[in-house]
Amino acid sequence: MDSQRHGRYDLALMVCGILPDIEMLPAGDMTEIGEHGISLSGGQKQRVSLARAAYGAHIAQHLWKNLLGPNGLLKNKTRILVTHAVQFPGDADRIVVLKDGRVSEVGQCQELMDPGLSFYQLIKEHSVNHRRYQHKKYKEADGAAEVSSKLDTDDSTGDGDEVELDAVAVKDDRGGLVAEEKMVEGSVSWSVYIKYVKSTSYKYALTVVGLYALVQSIQIGSNIWLKYWVTSSASGNLSLSGYLGIYAAFIVAFLLLSALVTYFAMVLAMVRRKTSS
């Protein structure tokens, strides 16, 4: 990394208040933080995102100036740039504006600067927001040190900084993750079912299995009854209300037993598990 890029890198870390976080990491900014930053707190993740956005802006400008822009290495090649950044289209030969998934405007920059066009509104909105940001930054410059101090205090006390425990990562002395993160795919193993049965007792487990079998039997019975209704309705063995009444009885029994299965399998089982633990 050359001195200019290193300076921008250090500046992004400083303005985003992430330097104290880096000092606490075992290998500094070379520490592996894992997928989705599992070893970082919520506030640290936000500051890392801000630093990436701040440094990425410099990278984008560098790529445009030296590679993609009118004076870049690819200046004699056809380039197609897809971006939401409004500082680059001014040098483009042709601009295609997409809105709601469709092409809304096509032309050069000056042609699209009509107040009624979406491109003009985008440029105008960006300019207004940029001026507001600059005004706010200068207005709050004197209190920047106080705000930074408050953020550091919040991190040290833990307020507003929730550490996610979705996964456990153990760091070695070099700041790397000892084991790679793994994702289990496939069906639920039998050990999970055995653990559930032991936690809830065999009585509740057998009750759940019996009720579930009864629910499935009623569902199959309702399908058989519909088949019988279709094949024997012409013979007039029962009236329409009779067929509907029996079918409704199947449905009501199915709903009641399904609710009972849910109650036994989740509510009572969870209560017993908490009580036994």
pLDDT of residue 134: 53
pLDDT for residue 218: 92
- Say what the pTM is: 0.36
Q: How many CB atoms lie within 10 A of CB 48?
A: 18
Helix (H, G, I), strand (E, B) or coil at 223: helix
Assess contact for 106 and 97: CB atoms under 8 A: yes
Spans of the chain, pLDDT less than 50: 141, 144-145, 147-152, 154-172, 178
| Residue 55: count of CB within 10 angstroms of its CB | 18
Position 58, amino acid: H
Task: Determine the pLDDT at residue 199.
Answer: 74
Domain boundaries, the chain: 1-76+163-179, 80-142, 190-276
Residue-level pLDDT at 216: 92
Residue the block writes with tokens 């029994």: 253
- So what's the pLDDT on residue 39? 74
Residue 207 tokens, joined: 């009750």
